[in-house]
Amino acid sequence: MTSASFPVPVDGLCHLSNETRMIATPWSRMVRGIGLGQYPVAYDPDAAARIRRTFALLSAKGADSNSYTRFSRLLADLVLSVADPSRPLRRSDVEQDLGPILDTVRAEENPYFRVMAGCILMDSFAKLGLDKGLLVNAETDFPAEILAVADSIAPDRIKDENAGRHGHYEKLSAYSAVFLAMGQLGLKERLVSGRRNYVRESLGLLEKIPAPFFRGRGGAVLLSVISLLGYERFIFGEGRDHIKEVLDHLDRADELNSPPAFPQPMSEAFPKVYPLLTMLNAIAMSGRAEEYVAYRRDRLAEAKELMGRITPVERTHMGLYYIIALHNLGRLDDQVPDLSGLVEDIVGEWEHIDPGANYFLNGIAYAYVIQTAMLTGRMDLIGDKTVERLVDCFPDLDRTDDDRVNRPYPFAYALNVLGETGRSHLLFEPRDAYGGATPMSWVIGRLSEGGSEEQRLYMLNHALLGYALRMRGPERTETPLSRGFRFR
């Protein structure tokens, strides 16, 4: 297989949109639901039918009893209907379909998920070019409604292996999503011009996230969004510098001794390099890169040293973060003089990784490997064997209960990256590894009733929504917000 066999939407770092440069890795998209629908392509009726069949399978499994899955199904159907050039929708048609979608958003009991759903809806409106007057009018002010929901997000409510370590991480992440969505709709002035300055309030949450890992990773997204909106003055003005404060907190990681827990054992360097790389990307967007990369120490030398200390499989996760951050900083050439060699090392690691060994460390490694190859223009490094090993790995995640209930996590990553590289159809065709069933039907068929045990099932919804939103057509590229930003 050659790179020409993959109809990839981008072929090298110089072709990346601003949205991709800010949200290049699948974590924000699959876990947080921001930046969905990158790399728009032409409408594909076969792919649209696959998406609708998948939601029908989820509904048959009882997952529609969950308001978030129901919301995702209804929104995906609207997105696909708008994108379908053979059936142009009138404004009244969109308005009619919007009513039930708004109802499902409001029915979501978890305030964080209600915010996430609302933000995905607003982002979809912006990317599809739909009339925002359907969301903001005399009867409804949906953006204000979603912004208000963020107030009800309490600290330390995330139910995962880091329960109790997050502080206000979830509320800060919600603000990041709301700010981005409102910016997409052209409503960013609301955040700073009313009775409350939400940007200033959100920055105040940073010091309420105790663990350096979560403050750095979550803070980097918030800081990036604020820079995208053009409100950098709140980051380093008003007598404080929030970027420097976050970097100071990362420097205290050993002293604070509050490392995150991961599903598999990780190297001591991994929880240090991850937030640093995300912060380097935020620094690239701030317009003050030279000041921050030299703040108290050489941050690029620190990143290089930490990258050298993580394990090879961890490097498959972090390699793309590292490359994108350096590219955005304008420092890729001097920091990585042999980019091809680095990419070959990262991508070549697939031969030594069993993607079915566990759902996290190994389970999402192939998605990062393939995406790293795509974004650096090296799809020649990805062959049939790589893709087929990923597609056929999911039955192996029956090894433990933890892997089984978290199977939607790596499966969502796989659907996302295979969609981007033109190979998603493999998940919808019968395969021997699944006893003649399709991987999609097999995975959904083995969910608990209603998906009640699979806390990360929502990530599959995000992958399907992102897949649908990409089909809005290549002419609908960047929104005005993203297009108007300049990396300095």
The single-letter DSSP state of residue 30 is: I
Coil, helix or strand for 85?
coil
The single-letter DSSP state of residue 296 is: S
Residue carrying structure tokens 């142009």: 88
Q: In angstroms, rounded to a whole number, what is the distance separating the alpha carbons of residues 365 and 395?
A: 17
pLDDT for residue 405: 97
Residue spans of alpha helices (H) in 230-298: 233-236, 242-251, 253-256, 270-286, 289-293
Among 25, 19, 12, smallest CA distance to 277 is for 25
Terminal Cα distance for the chain, rounded: 38
C-alpha to C-alpha distances, 435 to 25, 219, 231, nearest whole angstrom? 33, 45, 54
Coil, helix or strand for 75?
helix
C-alpha to C-alpha distances, 146 to 41, 56, 205, 319, 477, nearest whole angstrom? 30, 28, 18, 35, 26
pLDDT for residue 1: 41
Coil, helix or strand for 143?
helix
Contact in structure between 224 and 281 (CB atoms under 8 Å): yes
pLDDT for residue 195: 93
Burial of residue 294, with CB atoms counted within 10 A of its CB: 0-12 exposed, 13-18 middle, 19 or more buried:
exposed
Contact in structure between 262 and 363 (CB atoms under 8 Å): no
Q: In angstroms, rounded to a whole number, what is the distance separating the alpha carbons of residues 429 and 97?
A: 31
Residue carrying structure tokens 């297009």: 483
What's the CA angle centered on 428, arms 433 and 116, to 5 degrees?
Answer: 115
Dihedral of CA 280/298/487/373: which sign?
A: negative
Coil, helix or strand for 141?
strand
* Cα dihedral 169/172/178/180 (nearest 10): -100
Contact in structure between 286 and 273 (CB atoms under 8 Å): no
pLDDT for residue 157: 64
Q: In angstroms, rounded to a whole number, what is the distance separating the alpha carbons of residues 463 and 29?
A: 8
pLDDT for residue 155: 78
Residues 6+ apart with CB under 8 A from 60: none
pLDDT for residue 164: 58
DSSP characters for 425-459?
GGGGS--GGGTTS-HHHHHHHTSPGGG-S-TTTHH
pLDDT for residue 154: 85
C-alpha to C-alpha distances, 210 to 216, 242, 243, 271, nearest whole angstrom? 10, 15, 16, 14
pLDDT for residue 2: 42
Contact in structure between 128 and 82 (CB atoms under 8 Å): yes
Among 169, 266, 247, smallest CA distance to 208 is for 169
pLDDT for residue 272: 98
pLDDT for residue 5: 54
Among 328, 319, 335, smallest CA distance to 270 is for 319
What global pTM score does this model have?
0.96
pLDDT for residue 319: 98
Q: Identify the segments of the chain with pLDDT beneath 70.
A: 1-6, 156-166
Among 195, 279, 271, smallest CA distance to 245 is for 279
Per-residue b/e over 351-374, b at no fewer than 16 CB within 10 Å? eebebbbbbbbbbbbbbbbbbbbb
pLDDT for residue 194: 87
Q: In angstroms, rounded to a whole number, what is the distance separating the alpha carbons of residues 250 and 252?
A: 5
C-alpha to C-alpha distances, 314 to 266, 304, 337, nearest whole angstrom? 8, 14, 22
pLDDT for residue 260: 92
pLDDT for residue 163: 62
